[in-house]
Amino acid sequence: MYKYDEYDQAIVDARVEEFRDQVRRRLAGEISEDQFKPLRLMNGLYLQLHAYMLRVAIPYGTLNATQMRMLAHVARKYDKGYGHFTTRQNIQYNWIKLDEAPDILAELATVEMHAIQTSGNCIRNISSDQFAGAAADEVEDPRPWAELLRQWSTFHPEFTYLPRKFKIAVIGAEEDRAAVKLHDIGLQLHRNDAGEVGFRVFVGGGMGRTPMVAPVIRDFLPKADFLSYMEACLRVYNRYGRRDNIYKARIKILVHEIGAAEYARQVEEEWAHVKTLGLDAPAAEFERIAAFFAPPAFETGLSDTIDRSDPDFAVWLDQNVSAHKAPGYAVVTISLKPTGGIPGDATADQIDLMADLAERYSLDELRITHAQNVVLPHVRKADLYAVWQALDASGLAAPNLDLIGDIIACPGLDYCALANARSIPLAQKISQRFAATQHDLGELKLKISGCINACGHHHAGHIGILGVDRKGVENYQLLLGGSAAEDASLGRITGPGFDEDGVVDAIERAVDTYRSLRTEGERFLDTYRRVGMAPFKEAIYG
Amino acid sequence: MKLLTGNDLATGDVIWWAGDGWSRHIAEAVDVGPHAETLAAVEEAARRVNGPYAIDATQGPEGPRPAHIKDRIRAAGPTVRADLAIRPADANRGEWVI
Ligand code: SF4
């Protein structure tokens, strides 16, 4: 894992003291809320329905046990004993007091954490593949590049006031576990015909009000040109992005309006100039960063045999454990989606337990996933049963990864000031309704947003749900056919919306339709793509 | 009736104008009639509230009930965490919100 150098630490420490003074001035009445609001947002502090909310950055979703324990400590000392892991691989605390926020940031800084780039129209916290450095299908570890992006984008003076927020994801595998095509910029390390590794660059994806799947604007970008090309991409956007209309200000609108080919041409033109400025990281600096991500010292000669005699363990093993690149090791995904639970929420005690397990069994590493789960990336197969037992004793062994119970849900109207409808109660009802049948249904990604901002990725759900406000009453639109994976697609609305119970019933009818139509090995999404909307619509609306 | 609500500047708590000050309990909220704007300006300037705004509500047997679900959830707490509700012992809270 990356370790701060003196510059990283100095920047973060200075930011804490700056914010402490800003909070003092706000509480003393020296600055108004209008003046203060952009300053607190730049430090991840929002005002939500019930209190201030602090969003803490977890760069590319990677952290160690010490950092995870700090997250538990913050939950316990400054919040109400829990935190909410988000679809941006971050954590949010819902009950923060303004006068304590600087102390929280100061405590986070002691373990190289902060809340920078979690709000505002800047380049946001970089996201990545939660299996990076462990995945069996990886071409190259994307995290050194994500870290380079983090350093390049932190307080980048030219890109601090972009037309809108800007999200970048980096992966290094064919399987897309980070939804790169639904980011402003998605980067995929891959090998070209000559055997060299470089980036495929997707630009202009996103969800929200106008969802779009990003087109490829360059199929192969040499690694040496990485930062200068990113700079060119951002410059073209910064220059031509629509600042006149907040709903048209994201880069996806620019790319859509002028076309991917024209955007790419403008980037190439800008790049020809930018390349001469010496902005690319010197090879030595990249090597310094990359060294922090060198593969850990995996033990050799380990057995791949796992004792499956405990049937509950075997179910979890089949569902939540993935292949690791090193023999004798496996990747564990801890589902934060117990049946009837709140997706992404974890108590301080659970966070501590996950930290302990990481330290003892996963070479001191954890990852947060965009599906609001937690990963132990490097677990010896021989330790899986002990890990499962510890998780099971703490309500963390839900064996439902990628099943219908593994629901992505935003905080919705229970917490969020922008929401139209609640998301969490729906997730609870759906996970309860399908608890007994979910394994038979196979992979079925269900995603819920409480408003059009789509933090719950509803456009990209095999089944998506969008909460809307119909004359002051919660109403839910149902979408089918979305995907955030390498086969990215956007869901289509089935028809008129439903109330809370109505949408759960409608999902059951859609699922029954899938069951009656599926062929061997077909997922819900495959069946939908093969037969189209009509049979589902007929079953749902009768 | 019209209620005035906002958040406590330092703690972020949801608060309601109760006639002689702010209360965390909507049951103590009073009708601000046509005075919402003036009150909001004075109270915000004194830093006793952050982001005050007026809402429509109706007077019921248990006190004022906001017209919009968002403000009912603000008044009662998250519907999914009964333990964190403003009045955790109130069994009718769910019905009152929805
Ligand atoms: S999708 Fe809407 S309701 Fe949900 S967290 Fe985002 S802004 Fe809030």
For residue A268, the tally of other CB atoms under 10 A from its CB is 14
Q: How far is the CA of A85 from the centre of ligand 1 (A)?
A: 14
pLDDT at B24: 97
Residues of B in CB contact (< 8 Å) with A are: 7, 9-14, 44, 47, 50-51, 67-70, 73-74, 77-81, 84
Are residues B12 and A474, on separate chains, in Cβ contact within 8 Å?
no
Cβ neighbours of A419 in B, within 8 Å: 70
* pLDDT on residue B92: 81
User: Does B61 score more than 90 pLDDT?
Assistant: no
Q: Are residues A268 and A157 in the same domain?
A: yes
- CA A117 – ligand 1 centroid, Å: 18
Among A47, A419, A425, select the one facing B12 at the smallest CB separation.
A47
pLDDT of residue B98: 87
Query: By the CB < 8 Å criterion, does A422 face chain B?
Result: yes
Mutate to test the interface with A, among B5, B7, B74 (most CBs of A within 10 A): B7
The domain containing residue B74 runs over which residues?
A: 2-90
In the structure, what pLDDT confidence band is assigned to residue B95 with cuts at 50, 70 and 90? confident
Residue B96 forms part of a structural domain: no
Burial class (CB in 10 A: 0-12, 13-18, 19+), A44: buried
Neighbour count for residue B17 (Cβ, 10 Å): 27
pLDDT, tens digit (0-9, with 9 covering 90-100), for A53-75: 999 999 999 999 999 999 999 99
- The complex's ipTM? 0.97
Q: Which domain holds residue A499?
A: 408-541
Do A182 and A281 lie in a common domain? yes
Domain match, A202 and A344 both: no
Query: Which pLDDT belongs to residue A422?
Result: 98
The confidence score (pLDDT) of residue A145 equals 98
Per-residue pLDDT at B93 exceeds 90: no
Other CB atoms within 10 Å distance of the CB of residue A272: 11
Give A50's contacts in chain B (Cβ within 8 Å).
12-14, 74, 77-78
Q: What is the pLDDT of residue B91?
A: 80
Q: How many CA atoms lie within 13 A of A53 on its CB side?
A: 22
Residue A457, CA distances (Å) to A178, A411, A447, A450, B82 in order = 12, 12, 6, 10, 27
Q: Give the H or E element holding residue A522.
A: none
**Same-domain status, A429 and A533:** yes
Is A1 part of a structural domain of the chain? no
Q: How many residues does chain A have?
A: 542
A292: DSSP letter: T
Contacts of B87 in chain A (CB under 8 A): none
Closest CA to A497 of A427, A397, A421: A421
How many domains is chain B partitioned into structurally?
A: 1
- Cβ–ligand 1 distance for A449 under 6 Å, the answer yes
B90 pLDDT exceeds 90? no
β strands within A150-300, DSSP E: 168-171, 185-191, 197-203, 216-222
Does some domain include residue A115? no
Q: Is residue B97 part of a domain?
A: no
pLDDT at B62: 84
Mean pLDDT by 10 residues, chain A (542 residues): 96 98 98 97 97 98 98 98 97 98 98 96 96 95 97 95 97 98 98 97 97 98 97 97 94 97 98 96 95 95 97 98 97 98 98 98 98 98 98 98 98 98 98 98 98 98 97 95 98 98 98 98 98 98 93
* Domain count of the fold of chain A: 4
- Give the span between the Cα atoms of A163 and B56, in whole angstroms: 35
Q: Which of B10, B70, B84 minimises the CB distance to A27?
A: B10
Q: DSSP of B28-78, one letter per residue?
A: G----GGGHHHHHHHHHHTTS-EEEEEEEEEEETTEEEESSHHHHHHHH--
Pairing status of strand A374-380 against strand A366-368: antiparallel
Name the residue of chain B whose CA is nearest to A52's CA. B12
Together in a domain, A187 and A270: yes
d(CA A44, CA A54): 5
Task: Verify that A537 and A412 share a domain, yes or no.
Answer: yes
**In the structure encoding, which two tokens stand for residue A38, read together?**
């952009």
* Beta bridge partner(s), residue B5: B16, B53
Question: In a 3-state reduction of DSSP, which class is residue B23?
Answer: strand
Pick the closest to residue A475 from A422, A538, A427, A433 (CA basis).
A422
Give the C-alpha distances (Å, rounded to integers) separating A512 from A406, A438, A439, A508, A540: 19, 12, 14, 6, 10
Strand order in the sheet with A62-63: A62-63, A366-368, A374-380, A329-334, A321-323
How many contiguous H segments (helices) and E segments (strands) does chain A have? 17, 20
Q: Answer yes or no: is pLDDT of B88 > 90.
A: no
Which run of H or E residues covers position A316? helix A311-320
Residue A452 Cβ contacting ligand 1 at under 6 Å: no
In this structure, is the dihedral angle defined by the CA atoms of residues A516, A517, A520 and A526, taken in order, positive or negative?
A: negative
Find the A506 Cα to ligand 1 centroid distance in Å.
23
Q: Which residues of chain B are within 8 Å of residue A98 when distances are taken between CB atoms?
A: 9-12
Q: Is A419 in the pocket of ligand 1 (CB under 6 A)?
A: yes
Q: Which of A59, A94, A109 is the last residue of a domain?
A: A109
How far are the Cα atoms of A10, A351, B41 from residue A6, in angstroms, in the given order?
A: 6, 29, 46
Q: Is B38 exposed, middle or buried (0-12, 13-18, 19+ CB in 10 A)?
A: exposed
Q: What is the pLDDT of residues B15-44, one digit of tens each?
A: 999 999 999 999 999 999 999 999 999 999
Tell whether ligand 1 has an atom less than 6 A from the beta carbon of residue A450: yes
Greatest pairwise CA separation for chain B in angstroms: 38
Task: Ligand 1, residue A456: give the atom nearest the CA.
Answer: 1
pLDDT of residue A399: 98
